[in-house]
Amino acid sequence: MLTNYIQAALQRATYELLDDGTFYAEIPGFQGLYANASTLEACREELKDSLEEWIVLGLQLGHSLPVLDGISLSFKKDVA
């Protein structure tokens, strides 16, 4: 499930070649998540690493994460 979520998120990524010759990437709907690197491949890898950290932090803080392709990483708390 987590791998599928990461793949679905990365398929939504947008990449841009900046004036300084570096690459910038972000995933729409994933606030604060971006990457910047000297090559496209390095930018993709940096984005993937940042995405993994973004997901872990979001879950630790109890944030609602976007649902992608029907995949939800949100936890439902049991009510006692």
Task: Write down the pLDDT at residue 77.
Answer: 62
Q: What is the model's pLDDT at position 34? A: 98
Q: How confident is the model at residue 74 (pLDDT cuts 50, 70, 90)?
A: confident
Task: Return the higher-pLDDT residue of 61 and 77.
Answer: 61
Are the CB atoms for 43 and 34 separated by under 8 Å? no
Domains defined along the chain, listed by start: 2-61 (3.30.160.250)
Cα 42 to Cα 25, 38, 65, distances in angstroms: 11, 7, 25
55 closest CA partner among 65, 45, 68, 43: 65
> Given this model, what pLDDT does residue 76 score?
64
pLDDT tens digits, 5-64: 999 999 999 999 999 999 999 999 999 999 999 999 999 999 999 999 999 999 999 998
